[in-house]
Chains A and B, each alone.
Chain A
């Protein structure tokens, strides 16, 4: 028999009381663990979101979007500037063009429709000319050729930029093309291919050159599937626009850096470029996750405080109850060290048993808890995520819609993961609570004076 065995025996002295304390403490430990796990998952997801969502910046020549507007293309020098801007991790450059019937032997798979007709409208002009003698000549009305739908050509360093989901372009037959090539090769949209009986290996003419079909792609998007994708350099050569680029998509390394990268680009490119980004969208999705992370931290602190309080109060009550006993032990020669040691062992015993139960319980509960925390915030996030009015227009359809989808899926995909570090953190917090909760009652026992306690009157 010694201090340790006596401490343990005292811990189980009143099974009902000790059981109640152990249970309450176990619950607080379970909460600590699940909060830590939830926090870990959320922090991991925040990093994930920051690296991927809303990190695309689109740079276009000032005044140009797709094939609308007017202005001069971006130059190689400007592209070099963009590539060398701090925090820009990758750059995709594209040049779009519209082929008319004279540019190619292909027939467009799009119909003009009222929209197309309106886009290509013009008034017929009656030109009255007078010769130098002042006599009227016959007015000749010059009319433009009848409008026809045009075929979109996208020259790009990354064919996946044409995808309408922000992911990889679906190649239904054949192979992808290398965006850095300058060969006369192309990927053809499925609808256009069907219209012109093109298969892998077929050829067609464009800009006076023979182009080989390397693959057929589908996006499910009528506009895109009626177009052609070629390497950037190829289109630059065919359209005789060396080094020209009509759109650049720059990926930033973290959503935290989007705003300042946009500023840097605006400074570097001046009024020669139009810049669009989704910085605000990214910040919103991370804000709700960061809110959860703070909530879980508050939860950990609150649960730890509750646990410490439970042990503290329980031990204070125990010391009170056993005042006389402590006085006797001191009277018959028990040192302060032995008495305090006994109480610390007693406190630790209750804490350890409670912690083991609590950790097991916490492991079971942490998964559902994380999911419920995240789904509650996801409901509020999806109602606040605004649908931007910028729909598909011109050459690039998919850009912004895809980023928005990504943000929403992020919030639902937080997975609860229990790492060894989190487990050790929970154990560490438990021990701290145990020591704190036992130390104060221990100090109280040191102050008990046998002479006072043993007065029989």
Chain B
């Protein structure tokens, strides 16, 4: 359902042209849990941005369920991200002065979810990732790293996206918590058929996904 076709990305820098991605091709089926491995400078942030409709490739296309997302206008891409893509970041990136509930409700608002049902849906989502009711009213500063990441995942799931992009989701967590988060993502892909793409440099995590793509110097190799 997600196809990356001949995607290249070139940046202009003071030092000249830099080609971050060179003719990348890959495809992901619905419900697959895949990983993209790459070291620093391999172009994985660039690929992530393009997969997340945050940036457009210089050449090539991203097709998701028959929609060529790179051809969408800026406003439409924002709408697309709201409804069809879920983001999970290494640094959680929750809005600090909103509670866990409000953070999830924010995503529902952007996705056009009816306002009267947002609270219930947010509460359900948080419960499903293991955030209890009393924790739901807390602001991120009063939640542990693992809890914050769970909230982040609940937020990503809010509008039943076509796929979730996770950028080093366990990078800031200890190994025990990291494992729990990973298991959570794994369960989601199985039970809810959510397509999940994890970008990481951690080979161990990558090994536990269905498939791994390796990104090196802007080029893809499939394992």
Contacts and interface: CB of A to CB of B under 8 A. Distances in A.
Interface of A: 1-2, 6, 9-10, 13, 324-325, 328-336, 338, 449-451, 454-457
Interface string B26-55: 000000000000001100010001001011
Contact of B82 (A325, A332, A454): A332
A324 B96 CA distance: 11
Contacts of A455: 45
A332 B155 contact: yes
Contacts of B167: 454, 456
Contacts of A451: 49, 54-55
Interface string B72-98: 000100110111000101110101111
13 contacts: A2-B115, A13-B97, A325-B96, A329-B106, A331-B52, A332-B81, A332-B82, A334-B106, A450-B49, A450-B54, A451-B49, A454-B54, A457-B45
Contacts of B95: 325, 328-329
B107 interface: yes
Interface of B: 40-41, 45, 49, 52, 54-55, 75, 78-79, 81-83, 87, 89-91, 93, 95-98, 102, 105-107, 109-111, 115, 155, 159, 167-168, 171
A425 B10 CA distance: 54
Contacts of B45: 455-457
A128 B45 CA distance: 136
Contacts of B41: 457
A456 B81 contact: no
Given A13-B97, A325-B96, A331-B81, A456 B168 contact: yes
A1 B113 CA distance: 13
Nearest to B101: A1
Given A328-B95, A456-B168, A333 B49 contact: no
Given A324-B93, A451-B54, 20 more contacts: A1-B109, A2-B109, A6-B98, A328-B87, A329-B95, A331-B87, A332-B155, A333-B78, A335-B79, A336-B78, A449-B54, A449-B55, A451-B49, A451-B55, A454-B89, A454-B93, A456-B45, A456-B90, A456-B167, A457-B40
Closest 6 CB pairs of A and B: A333-B82, A333-B110, A451-B49, A451-B54, A451-B55, A328-B93
Contacts of A2: 109, 115
Nearest to B90: A456
B88 to A, nearest CB: 10
Contact of A332 (B40, B96, B107): B107
B102 A1 contact: yes
Contact of A335 (B75, B98, B106, B155): B75
A456 B167 CA distance: 9
B48 to A, nearest CB: 8
A335 B45 CA distance: 22
A334 B79 CA distance: 8
B79 to A, nearest CB: 7
A1 B109 CA distance: 9
Given A1-B102, A456-B168, A9 B97 contact: yes
Contacts of A10: 97
B159 to A, nearest CB: 8
B100 to A, nearest CB: 13
Contacts of A13: 97
